[in-house]
Each structure stands twice: as C-alpha cells, then as structure tokens.
Amino acid sequence: MGSYYLKRFLYSILTLFIIITIVFFMLRTVPGGPFSKEKPLPPKTEAKLEAQYGLDDPVYIQYFKYLGNLVRGDLGVSLKDPAYSVNQLLADGIQYTAKIGLLAAVVITVIGIPLGIISALRANTAVDYGSMFLATLGITIPSFVIGSLFILMAQYVEWIPVGGLDEPIAYVGPVIALSGYSLAFITRLTRSSMLEVVGQDYIRTARANGLSKRKVVFKHALKNSLIPVVTYTGPMIAALLTGSFVVEKIFVINGIGRFFTDSVSNRDYTLTMGVTIFYASFYIFMVLLVDIIYSLIDPRIKVSK
C-alpha cells in the first residue's frame, strides 16, 4: 500500500515539474514581452528594465534562477506591478476565489448527488424526466451565458448586487454561474452509475433475501455507485476552488482567475507562472487525493495499478 501511494506522489511531483518547464519556455516564445506597449519605450529604458528583472539573461539561465527561487518559495514580483509580490497577489486573490468555489462545491454535492440517486430510484417517472431535463439544460448552457443572464436580471431586481463580493447576497450570481455545468453533470453521472449498480446480480440477490429497498440502496448500492462520482468530484473541486476565468471576469471579482487572464494579456511572466503553479499544484493534489480515496473504496485498484 505504501509503495502505491509513494509512486503516485512521485508521479505528481514529476507532472508538476514538467508543467512548470513547458509553461516557462512557452512564455518566452510568445512575441513581445512584459515591457512591450503600443507606444514603445526608449531602447535604453527597456534594456534597463530587462536587466533589472534578469530578462536579458539567456533563457536557460532565467529558468534555473527561477527554479532556485521557487524551491525557496519565492515566486518573484509582478512585472506590471512591482510593488506587489506574486505570493502576495495570490494570497489576496485566493480568499475570493476559494469562497465562491467552496460554496459552489457544496451546492453541487448537496444537490447533485441526492438528485441523481432519486432520479435513478424513480427512473422513468416525472421526477426523473424533470431532473434530467434540467440537467441537460445545465450542461448545454455555458457559465458565461448563465452569468450574463443573471446580470441582466439584476438590472430589474435592485436588491441583487452585481460586481464584487461586498455583500453576502452578491455570492448568489457567481455561485450559480460556476456550479451550473458541474451540478448538471454530477446529477447525470450519479443517476447512470446508480442505475448500473442496482441492476447487478448481488443487488437483486439482496432484494430476494428480503432486505428492504432502503437498506439495499444505502448499504450495498450507494458505495459502489459513488466510485465514478468520486473520480469526477476531485478535479471538479480543484477547478471550482481555483476559480473560473470567465465568471470572475463577468462579476468583476479580483480572484485568481482574473489575475491569470490579466497576466497573460499583459505578458506578466512571473504572475502567469505563479498562477499556473498554483492551479497545477492544487489540481494535481486533488487528483492524488482522489486516487487515495478511490483505492480505499475499491482496494482492487492498488493491485491492478
């Protein structure tokens, strides 16, 4: 068991290293630079700025310097706003991103999984058809459309604020827009998984032995039906807690997603790298956590892998 978890951990570290390396060199191949503007700076000024931040060094030298600083936990300063370090910007942004992401994850889990179970147990009824219709809508309507419709509605409902997260009610719009797709998907996934499990021979045998439907569902069927749901939930939570670029842009939330879009458009190398490392680290951690939970739910996974 220990060797399995160690192997997964080492794979995770290797994956993160590869992501850092690829993104670092890709940023250096993009035309222009952090000091490129519509009105070019004087060559001497631009050269001085590049020397100040080490951008005049060969790319491989920049790379090893960056890795050295990264090992010490130093992500550098924002090239567009040198008054702030990347560490500080990430710390400021995560508090907003995590709040809406955590709320969305709670909404998705609390509503999606029970709704999928109910739909499976009441298959081909009005409840099933209604929930699957809503789930289909949730999957087909993008988050930016949901967000835009919410903002349009807020123009006629004055008590619903849009833009920022200054009031508790302001979380409603971003959470709805952020959770729409995943809520619909996890509902359908739970339903299909539950239907597959309740059709297995051991479930029919349990029912034939006189066990109540409730006991069969919650003691025998639920655990196995949640295996694919757990697989999806880990990356989903990682995506939610690291924010949505589109949702944060629409609702003017100064979260990590907005930092990422702004840093890419501004060619702010250090901020782009910092956000990428944060995204990748959290996502890889959640995938690793799912692997561990998955192996605990189904011990055969460790043997097969």
Q: How confident is the model at residue 218 (pLDDT cuts 50, 70, 90)?
A: confident
Residue 43, domain member (yes or no): no
CA 86/CA 70 separation, integer angstroms:
12
Q: What is the mean pLDDT of residues 10-22?
A: 92
Q: Quote the DSSP letter at residue 75.
A: -
* Ramachandran angles phi, psi of 118, nearest 5°: -60, -40
> Over pLDDT 70: what percentage of the chain?
90
Burial state string for 38-66 with b = 16 or more CB within 10 A and e = fewer than 16: eeeeeeeebeebeeebebeeeeeebbeeb
3-class secondary structure, 85: strand
Residue 233, domain member (yes or no): yes
Residue 289, domain member (yes or no): no
Question: What is the pLDDT at residue 302?
Answer: 52
Q: What is the mean pLDDT of residues 194-222?
A: 75
Q: Which residue has the higher pLDDT, 112 or 223?
A: 112
Average model confidence (pLDDT) across the chain: 82
Q: Which two tokens stand for residue 132?
A: 């699957």
Question: What is the pLDDT at residue 76?
Answer: 87
* Ramachandran angles phi, psi of 85, nearest 5°: -80, 155
Given phi > 0 = left and psi -120 to 50 = alpha, else beta, which region is 36? beta
Other Cβ atoms less than 10 A from the Cβ of 139: the count is 16
| Residue 303 pLDDT exceeds 50 | no
- Do residues 147 and 247 touch, judged by C-beta distance below 8 A? yes
Q: How confident is the model at residue 251 (pLDDT cuts 50, 70, 90)?
A: confident
Question: What is the pLDDT at residue 2?
Answer: 67
Question: What is the pLDDT at residue 107?
Answer: 92
CA 238/CA 101 separation, integer angstroms:
9
pLDDT tens for residues 70-113? 999 889 888 888 888 899 988 888 888 888 888 999 999 999 99
| Residue 53 pLDDT exceeds 60 | yes
Residue 52, domain member (yes or no): no
pLDDT tens for residues 135-171? 888 888 888 888 888 888 877 777 777 777 778 888 8
Residue 174, domain member (yes or no): yes
Q: What is the mean pLDDT of residues 220-235?
A: 78
If one counts the domains in the chain, the total is 1
Question: What is the pLDDT at residue 297?
Answer: 67
Residue 274, domain member (yes or no): no
CA dihedral 121, 125, 129, 130 (to 10 degrees): -90
Q: What is the mean pLDDT of residues 190-200?
A: 84
| Residue 43 pLDDT exceeds 80 | no
What is the CATH number for 196? 1.10.3720.10
pLDDT tens for residues 256-301? 888 888 888 888 889 999 999 998 998 888 888 877 777 776 665 5
Residue 77, domain member (yes or no): no
**Which of 188, 189, 209, 206 shows the shortest CA–CA distance to 198?**
206
Question: What is the pLDDT at residue 201?
Answer: 75
Q: How confident is the model at residue 52 (pLDDT cuts 50, 70, 90)?
A: confident
Q: Quote the DSSP letter at residue 155.
A: T
| Residue 6 pLDDT exceeds 90 | no
Q: How confident is the model at residue 38 (pLDDT cuts 50, 70, 90)?
A: low
| Residue 178 pLDDT exceeds 80 | yes
Token pair 């039906």 is found at 225
Residue range(s) defining the domain that contains residue 190:
89-264
Q: Which residue has the higher pLDDT, 37 or 90?
A: 90
Question: What is the pLDDT at residue 150?
Answer: 85
Residue 139, domain member (yes or no): yes
